[in-house]
Amino acid sequence: MNAELTILGLESSCDDTAAAVVRGRDVLSSVVWGQTELHSAFGGVVPELAARAHAEKIDLCVAEALDRAELTLRDVDAIAVTAGPGLIGGVLSGVMCAKGLSAGSGKPLVGVNHLAGHALTPRLTDSLPFPYLMLLVSGGHCQFLLVRGPQAFERLGGTIDDAPGEAFDKTARLLGLPQPGGPSVEAEARTGDPKRFAFPRPLLDRPGCDMSFSGLKTALLRQRDSLIADQGGLTRQDRADMCAGFQAAVSDVLQEKTRRALDIYLSHDPVCPGFAIAGGVAANQGIRAALTGLCAQHGVNFVAPPLALCTDNAAMIAYAGAELFALGQRDDMTLQAHPRWPLDKSAAPLLGSGKKGAKA
Ligand code: KG4
Ligand code: ZN
Other CB atoms closer than 10 Å to residue 185's CB: what's the count? Answer: 26
Ligand 1 atom 6: the closest Cα is on which residue? 139
For residue 332, how far is its CA from the centre of ligand 1 (angstroms)?
A: 34
CB-CB neighbours of 206 under 10 Å = 8
* Angle subtended at Cα 356 by Cα 352 and Cα 358, rounded to the nearest 5 degrees: 40
- The reply, when asked if residue 215 is annotated as ligand binding, is no
The pLDDT of residue 353 is 44
Beta strands in the chain (DSSP E): 6-11, 16-23, 26-34, 78-84, 109-113, 132-137, 142-149, 152-158, 274-278, 301-303, 353-354, 357-358
Tell me what pLDDT residue 35 has: 85
Q: Report whether 139 contacts 121 (CB < 8 A).
A: no
pLDDT at 355: 45
Q: Please tell me the predicted confidence (pLDDT) of residue 51.
A: 87
Ligand with minimal distance to 314 CA: 2
Ligand 1 geometric centre to CA of 280 (Å)? 3
Backbone angles phi, psi at 227, to 5 degrees: -65, -40
The annotation status of 137 as a binding-site residue, yes or no, is yes
The answer to whether 165 and 184 have CB atoms below 8 angstroms apart is: no
How many Cβ atoms from other residues are within 10 Å of residue 196's Cβ? 14
CA distance linking residue 226 with residue 44, whole number of Å: 26
Question: Which-ligand-closest: CA of 113?
Answer: 2
* Cβ-based neighbours of 257, under 8 Å, separated by 6 or more: 144, 157, 209, 210, 211
- What pLDDT score was predicted for residue 262? 98
Give the pocket of ligand 1 (CB within 6 Å): 14, 138-140, 165-166, 168-169, 180-183, 186, 279-281, 283-284, 311-312, 356
* Domains defined for the chain, CATH in brackets: 6-121+309-358 (3.30.420.40), 130-308 (3.30.420.40)
8-state DSSP, 4: T
CA of 165 to the centre of ligand 1 (A): 5
Q: Which ligand has the minimum distance to the alpha carbon of residue 354?
A: 1
Ligand 1 pocket test, candidate residues 45, 121, 166, 168, most atoms within 8 A of CB = 168
**By alpha-carbon position, which residue is closest to atom 22 of ligand 1?**
182
Question: What pLDDT sits at residue 357?
Answer: 47
User: pLDDT of the chain along its 360 residues, tens only?
Assistant: 556 899 999 999 988 999 999 999 999 999 999 888 888 777 778 888 888 989 899 999 999 999 999 999 999 999 999 999 999 999 999 999 999 999 999 999 999 999 999 999 999 999 999 999 999 998 888 999 999 999 999 999 999 999 999 999 999 999 999 888 999 999 999 999 999 999 999 999 999 999 999 999 999 999 999 999 999 999 999 999 999 999 999 999 999 999 999 999 999 999 999 999 998 899 899 999 999 999 999 999 999 999 899 889 999 999 999 999 999 999 999 999 999 998 888 886 765 544 444 444
Buried b (16+ CB within 10 A) or exposed e, 7-29: bbbbbbbbbbbbbbbbbbeebbb
Protein residue whose Cα sits closest to atom 18 of ligand 1: 182
Decide: 140 and 359 in contact? Cβ < 8 Å: yes
Q: How far is the CA of 138 from the centre of ligand 1 (A)?
A: 5
User: 196 CA distance to ligand 2 centroid (A)?
Assistant: 34
Rg of the Cα atoms in the chain:
20
- The pLDDT assigned to 1 comes to 55
**Is 312 marked as binding a ligand?**
yes
